A and B are shown apart, each in its own frame.
Chain A
């Protein structure tokens, strides 16, 4: 069983008036890290959104100023990631609608190509409006959506 021991206290040089501010900042950093983790998971498998916030040469006790900088940088990163994700999901929704339109009326979307990446999904699937029987289909206006799946084999 875990033996609870009294910690051996050595010294306490932190100024008392800093404690509350430091605790608040540490809590804010924790909440922002949680937000960032949630955003990261919501974003996957999308690429190109930055989540990294530079380290401060840790592990060490950060000064009050450094904690404030870290909190601000995390807040900016969260805001930026949220905005990027929002923009991306809007664009993905447009692409989903485009796929529906392509399926309903292929001739109105000649040669249009939408990939899984465009709708925020993993994999290499894509929807491509192509003519049936090549040139004959082009001349006759026989257009269809070809759905391709599977990633190319790695070389």
Chain B
């Protein structure tokens, strides 16, 4: 399997404030579907590695801590709106395990839980140009529905916002059962080594492509 990882563009004002911030993405020929047995087993094994004590101390680990700091610096309370890795850890504690949804969600869960890096997937055929990061403009909406406050940090293509950073992904850009090519994206912030971001994207891609081949 080959994977070309590309750093997305970033608006100058944002790059000036957060010099290490970027969205790294990779194109993937894989279709969504039901998770095969191996993926569900991997989720189960991953869930066994989570304990209450480990989740509590997670916020002191370098990568999850870096995303907490970034969340704080951009005005998010990470104790209320959890970073993806903490949200996953909390879900694991609440449900006693990771629930399998579909291969895309499962692959993203595995990638996030193993590396701590937030990863999300977009439908590559519904994008207009390369994705990058910028501040939202007045009157912009997510998926044409949800109004975005001005100057919110978003992942966007040339035409519209695709996702709120550390938040919601637009329905009109997300993966659907009809998706044939995906763009897997990872957020990098200060304090996160590039190798962790690469690992997150490779992990997600490996799970999805592996499942696509076995399915």
Contact = CB atoms under 8 A, between A and B. Distances in A.
Nearest to B150: A60
A92 interface: no
B80 A55 contact: yes
A107 to B, nearest CB: 39
Output the residue of B11, B75, B76, B198 with the most chain A CB within 10 A: B75
- Main SS class of interface, B: mixed
Interface in A18-35: 19, 22, 26, 29-30, 33-34
B7 A62 contact: no
Contacts of B65: 33-34, 37
B196 to A, nearest CB: 11
B164 interface: yes
Contacts of B79: 51-53
Contacts of A61: 13-14, 17, 74, 135, 151, 153
B134 interface: yes
Interface of A: 1-5, 7-14, 19, 22, 26, 29-30, 33-34, 37-38, 40-41, 44, 51-62, 66, 70, 74
A8 B74 contact: no
B22 to A, nearest CB: 7
Given A33-B68, A34-B65, A44-B56, A56 B75 contact: yes
A53 B153 contact: no
- Main SS class of interface, A: loop
Given A7-B10, A41-B57, A61-B13, A2 B75 contact: no
A3 B3 CA distance: 11
A9 B15 contact: yes
B12 A2 contact: no
A59 B152 contact: yes
Contact of A60 (B15, B24, B75): B75
A66 B76 CA distance: 12
A59 B15 contact: no
Contacts of A3: 4-7
8 contacts: A8-B9, A8-B132, A29-B72, A33-B65, A38-B60, A52-B77, A53-B72, A62-B73
A22 B16 CA distance: 10
A56 to B, nearest CB: 3
Interface string B1-39: 000111101111111110000101000000000000000
B134 A10 contact: yes
